Amino acid sequence: MEGDPELIDDSEFYHQLLKEFLESCDRGASGSAFYALKKQQLKKRKLVDRRASKSRKIRYHVHEKITNFMAPVPMVLPPMTPKLFENLFGTGSQKSTTA
């Protein structure tokens, strides 16, 4: 035997076990059991959502509730605000000097 002396070649032992197993079992019974099992596996469909393909199903993730969120409150401006902005920025009441 070549290679590592600590390795054991047990292939003969497994060949003998396999040979005994094949001789001990009835080939006709095991063959029919195998085909029955195979047929049952083919019948059984996988549980797959078939509508999910080709983007036919809406995919979404539920978000957690927002903490410390406050909806905006509309601000009521006093009636003099437009006049104040006109006076501050000089819009509206200026006359053209290029006439």
Radius of gyration of the chain (CA): 43
Q: Do the domain assignments include residue 15?
A: yes
Structural domain boundaries enclosing 14: 10-38
Polymer length in residues for the chain: 99
- The CA-atom distances, in angstroms, between 81 and each of 72, 74, 94 are 21, 16, 18
Using CA atoms, how far apart are residues 78 and 96, in angstroms rounded to an integer? Answer: 30
The pTM score is 0.25
Number of domains making up the chain: 1
Please name the residues in contact with 42: beta carbons below 8 A apart, sequence gap of 6 or more: none
Comparing 2-6, 19-23, 59-63, 70-74, the range with the smallest average pLDDT is 2-6
Average pLDDT (6-20) is 85
Q: What average pLDDT does the segment 11-15 reach? A: 88
Beta strand segments in the chain, E: none
Closest CA to 82 of 91, 73, 74, 94: 91
23 is a domain residue = yes
Residue 49 covered by a domain: no
Going by pLDDT thresholds of 50, 70 and 90, the confidence category of residue 99 is very low
| Within a domain: 80 | no
Query: Residue 32 domain-assigned?
Result: yes
